[in-house]
Structure 1
Amino acid sequence: MNPFVILCIDQDPFVVEQLSHDLAPFRDVFDLCSAETPDDAYTMLDDFEANEQQVALLICHNLAGDHQGIDLLVNVDNHAASQGARTVLLSEAPQYDIILQAVNEGRLNYCMHKPWRAEEMQRVAEKELTTYVLRYCQHDLLRYAEVLDHRTLLDAQVEREISQFQAQLLAPGETDKAAIADRVIAGLYAFFEGNDESRACRTYSANHVLTKENQDNAFLWFITDGDVGLYKTDDEGQEHHVSTLSSGSLIGSMSFVTGDVSFSTGRTLTRTQVIKIDHALFSKIMTSRSELLPLFIQYLLLHFNQRLKRSIDTEIQLQQTLASLDEANRQLLEKEKMALLGQLVAGVAHELNNPVSAILRNSDALADALEEVAKTPLASASREQALSLLQTNRESTPLSTATARTYTRTLSDVTGDKRIARDLVNIGLYQPEDIQAWQQHLGKDFSRELTTWKQYARCGRLLRSNHVCAARIADLVKSLRTYARQDSEQRQRTRIIENIDDTLTLFEHRLKPHQLEKRYDWVPDIIAQPSALAQVWTNLIANALDAMQTPGTLTVTVKTLNDQASGTIEVSISDTGTGMTPEQQEKMFALNYTTKREGHFGLGIGLTMCQTIIHEQGGDIQVRSQPGIGTTMAVTLPIELPASVSKEPQR
């Protein structure tokens, strides 16, 4: 006797026989019953209820003019044995009012006209029975999969089992890892009791290796008693103890689950009992003891969660340590930068004194000249000539001595007075025909007008001198500002030669005893931090000048190493100083190492800072030096910032 029934109601024995034949494929999992009238059907429903059977599909014929069949369909849910049954109405002719009544009551699932085709009846029955089973079958759906919709029932069965597993796994329960571990271990021992052919339950003495760092691991180790130490090896091959695991812990869980190599070496510290399980054995255990699977997964999640928390705590501690080190490094670099800036400022202050003094002197002289100009009236044509001379002397550079003497000799013949000729050349009137024209125009007033023109020309020269001095001051200030700019400056297109020349400007006071040679090829702009590169050039030039105890030559070379857009440029700073030994060259980039002579201040981190900055640019810095001959510091920089280099500096 099956739990579900297909009930057919029809007075025609041929129809009943046809239904029995067409529904035969479902007999193995459904009882097939028939009744002649609805009254007989009600009696059978009582019997079904007594036998704890349910009607899954009700197929009923309705006679014309008789509503008993429709009434049975409409009231099918009122009987305990037919609640939820799927319904099919058989009719010999369209009975629209009857069909509409059943549809309005919501208890008609399908209407079929007589005669029907066998495949049609089987298709309808399969569809309706599948719908019923999916809703009301609380047991194994696969029992019905062979005769009903196989794919639908199979998918439903899988989904149901997954849902049950998830409900079991996620249901509120124990969160005590030790308690869950005890239950898992107890279940494993129960599985192996009297049947441990694989010798999974083992006892090891101290110093037995369970897992080996960076090697494959195919086992999961449950520690049931004793202690196991975890060890990591550093880059120098030194092994360090990082953790101790005791009873209830797992060894090799990550590599066992992911298939990766072991993260650490696991070694027993004491006499230790373990359960050693490989993948095949694990699958066998979980298949035969399915209740252990959700428990084990919950335990594994707690284990990984605990491991993740430890990793996060360690990561936070490392980040805090790195932040402290970065801050300490930043402060050291800033001290080195400020120390060198102090020396540069002293030299720049001396260099600023000359243009500032010149501007002050020019201002007094300009005031006197303007006073003379203001109180001397000029005719219209003469005033225009005076203004032209002011503008000419303001914009043009003075003549060389030889050229001025040549013009003076020529004009002496024209004017007949060497002093007047020299004054004319000094104010910028060189052409004899122009002088003759003015002499004729002004007559005896020429000398007096010339005196006034000299004051206009003097104003122009004083204005030009002030402009040159101000530009000199601006260059010095610009160079200092570039060097002292904050390290947080964004990377940008940088003119490398201009960047170097700005730095050289700061050293003009120290370069006076030496010879400076610039060997500049054309190079494209590069992506860089101008202020950071200025720190590099400043340190390298300062070191080169320190190395030249007597007047020497400082050579700055800039060139491209190839013509490709993705190529590099090279900046070389060479001196003719004392040079360095191979031992000094090996140590020169080390922190706190310095070769500066007594009296030259430095923290010993200038070259370390240079190397850091250049590496952040994706470049490199090399030294070539010979004792007694000199040193060359060669810096190579990429024209385009490599993708592997961070877009923001890490200093």
Structure 2
Amino acid sequence: MNSFVILCLDDDPRIIEQLSKELVPFANLFDIISAESIEEAHDTLEFIAQNDQRAAMVICDNELGSDNGVDFIIQLDQHPVTQKARTILLNDRPQLDTIMQAVNEGRLNYCLTKPWNKEELNRVLIKELTTYLLKNPQEDWLQYSRILDHHRILKAHIDRQMSNFRSGFIQNTNSLDDTALAKQVADALHDFFNGNDESRACRTYSEGHLLTKEGTSNNFLWLITQGEVALYKDDDDGCKHEVVRVGAGHLVGGMSFVTGETSFSTVITLGKTNVIKLDRQLFTKVMNSRNELLPLFTNLLLRNFNRRLQGSIKTELRLQQTLKSLDNAHLQLVDQEKMAILGQLVAGVAHELNNPVSAILRGSETLQETIGKLTESKLDLENQRRGNHILQQAMQSRPLSTSETRQRAKQLESQLGDRQLARKVVQMGIDDHEHLSNWLLPQKNQLKEVMSEWEHYYQMGNFLRSINVCAQRIADLVKSLKSYARQDDESTHTVDIHEGLEDTLVIFENRLKRHQVTKEYTPFPLFTCQPIALQQVWTNLIANALDAVTEPGEIRIKTQYSPGSNKQSMEIVIEDNGKGIPLEQQKKIFELNYTTKREGNFGLGIGLSVCQQIINQHDGDIRVESELDKYTRMIVTLPINHSS
């Protein structure tokens, strides 16, 4: 049984039989139900309501014996299952007065005169059913795209997803204070567990209940919904000291839950306390079931981290004032450098998050334009199918260096007769013999026009891949926070270095298109590393290169590998043709708080310092070569067999 019904109303059994045959393509997703009289139709509507279905389309004959089909159509809004139904009126002959009656009432969507054209009926059904479906946002639109207007459905789906993301991550949180945000998260969690709490996530603890113990592993996250808890720290002598008290809206165990580290403090309830307790499996289940919770929860977690850091800074300042009054020598007990890094880290989160969020927002706008071009495509069905293949391939394409693209395009130029055309063919990944013989050469005379249309599919695939990369980057934000401060605990993976470089280039695509980018990749063996941390290195280096050049500038990315050398290592070189760095500044660029960015460019002075820490964690090296008014070249060397 499907969610929606197509109701056919005609007193001629032959018409009902003909409609049933012509509606077969829609029968998998819409129940086809017929009636021969208005009385039977009303009974059918009651049956539909009992089955919790709704009528998406009503096809009704104008003359039903002594009854008037127009009157039935006009009354559709009075029944809950047909309030939004699309309507088609059948006429044995054109009757302008009855048609105008239905039009004036706003309930007629299309009129067909018997005998109708099968193609016309099919076209009208696709258009009107698509319109009805898109007015039901709770439905899974994509499952209908194979029989309805897939271009409209795809565009609406992307618009809905981007709207949900934009409103969820940006709009819904920047106007909420901490209390309102915490309540919104708590209410959503309570709603999720209402009647479905086998794991007893919603709990009530009495006074003195232990939530976390300092120095021990922690696999749970607690959201305090009512009551108060105290956080304690042990000093060097094992004496316990109360650090802070927190109440409703605060998260407990957040850092250790996210990073897997041992608990930072001991947390004990101070009275009757209501909590929502989540383990990792339950947390994943909730977030997968309620996508809108992820941006809300991420913001709540970041705000808790920020409050904890601010509280630490205030405590540290009070401690410094006390120590100064006793003895200046006690200042050595304060780890000022580490505190400074942590303070800037919180400020840097928004800066680092800005690139992927901005890329997603820009990508959504570009996608809207590209979808418009696709819906207006003049390609035949076969070339549209090929375009869809190019789109899917672009979403998973492997990176090609500039030199390889040039070389392969040169081989094609003689066959296609156009250098630019050959270059586009290579970029789209359709330059092999099969595509050349079956796709390109048979339509050589119109290949420019076809390639121009295919390019929209290729660009759409690229932007979808970009959005996916950026969304994954945001999803890994909390884990990436640890990559700044303590990369040694991040899990290692075996990856292709070039994929990380390409993912980073996608994030900066909007800025890079204003410059000339040259890529020269040497095949590397797979490398065991901390990929999130290394991607932060590529992000910082490419961002610095973009800030250094004036439009139009040149940015060159080159990889080198010498497998026959005594110390097998790979080199990743990122070079720009900007103003360069003076020799005296080159010695300082890896120092904390030092920045060479021009006035007007945001710089914390921690990017290259963090890069150096990450590369050192991989037993590698990073160095700079620069000449004023000519170039700056950042060279990262990574050993193949490092201690991972």
Is TM-score (shorter-chain normalized) higher than 0.5?
no
Instruction: Report the TM-score, using the length of structure 2 for normalisation.
Output: 0.32
Instruction: Report the TM-score, using the length of structure 1 for normalisation.
Output: 0.32
* Greater Cα radius of gyration, structure 1 or 2: 1
